[in-house]
Amino acid sequence: LLGNTIYTNLFMLGVAWQRGLVPVSLAALEKAIELNGTATERNRQAFVWGRWAAHDGDRVRRLSEPEAMQTADGQGPSDTLAEIVRRRREALVAYQNVRYAERYSALLSRVRQAEAAAGRQSSTLAEAVARNYYKLLAYKDEYEVARLHSDAAFHEQLRAEFEGDFSLHFHLAPPLFARPDRVTGRIEKRAYGPWMLRAFALLRHLKFLRGTFFDPFARSAERRLERQLLAEYEADIELIVQKLTPGDEPTLNAAIELASLPEKIRGFAHVKAKAAEQTRERRATLRQILLANAAS
């Protein structure tokens, strides 16, 4: 509706107020939005949309669906596998290069062939791989953070969101400089000023070092974990491609779940490491199902 999830709080406040759950007058809330002085009009719009959502949620949902997500007869999304792959290929070229995107496409092509050879009319497995393989390939490392923060679209969005003069401060934990907390042992984030934008502008051009011997960030625990997860996933998909057979629903179901496991691995640093560890037992079980069913 508004192009940015930052307005969710005001949207939900509007929902709550319309349902009589906020014991504050409408005039007082509108005055508070005005006095806040940040993106006043957009916040006001978010609040009103929230009120409308409480009144007629189905209508708001219909209005929020882009025309591009509608089929020719207006009956739901048209996000085809080809479109999913096309968008992610383009993103991977920007993330690294054309060869990196080709790595993505090559694996997807093998999965699609295996799914078709197994007599599947749908592309459920291929879609799972398309989304999750991309997620593992495009992990948010230092080079990607620099690229995104240096992008002109990011700065245009900031100027649209905030009024008047403002400065940016970044809370980061650079592997080369960050130190663990004395109590928790976890890496602490520190605040860095606007000068980081100049560092980002330089770092974005060094993405060709990503994962190489000369990558200064490659030896951190988080980067090693990401490369390990990617290698394991490619091994899992290789197993799926080899073991998928026509009419074997247990194997297919295990394959789809295995291909979707990265969805459960979220967050950064210790949060991501814990999530990855929690999926390992299930991964082992699913691989065993694939091996056992294919052998029987």
pLDDT in tens, 140-151: 999 999 999 999
Instruction: Residue 160: name the closest of 35, 4, 55 by CA.
Output: 4
Share of the chain above pLDDT 90, in %: 59
The answer to whether the beta carbons of residues 146 and 199 sit under 8 Å apart is yes
Instruction: Residue 278: name the closest of 264, 260, 290 by CA.
Output: 264
Q: Where are the domains of the chain?
A: 5-69, 81-140+219-295, 142-209
Kindly report which listed range (7-21, 75-89, 165-179) carries the lowest average pLDDT score: 75-89
The answer to whether the beta carbons of residues 51 and 60 sit under 8 Å apart is no
Tell me the per-residue pLDDT of 4-15, one tens digit each, with 9 for 90 and over.
888 999 999 999
Q: What are phi and psi of 16, to 5 degrees?
A: -65, -40
Tell me the per-residue pLDDT of 32-62, one tens digit each, with 9 for 90 and over.
998 888 788 889 999 999 999 999 888 888 8
CB neighbour list of residue 132: distance below 8 Å, 6 or more residues apart = 233, 259, 260, 261, 262, 263
Q: What's the chain's Rg over C-alpha atoms?
A: 23
Q: What is the pTM of this model?
A: 0.72
DSSP designation for 262: G
The predicted structure's pLDDT at residue 79 = 65
Tell me the per-residue pLDDT of 196-219, one tens digit each, with 9 for 90 and over.
999 999 999 999 999 999 999 998
Tell me the per-residue pLDDT of 261-270, one tens digit each, with 9 for 90 and over.
999 998 888 8
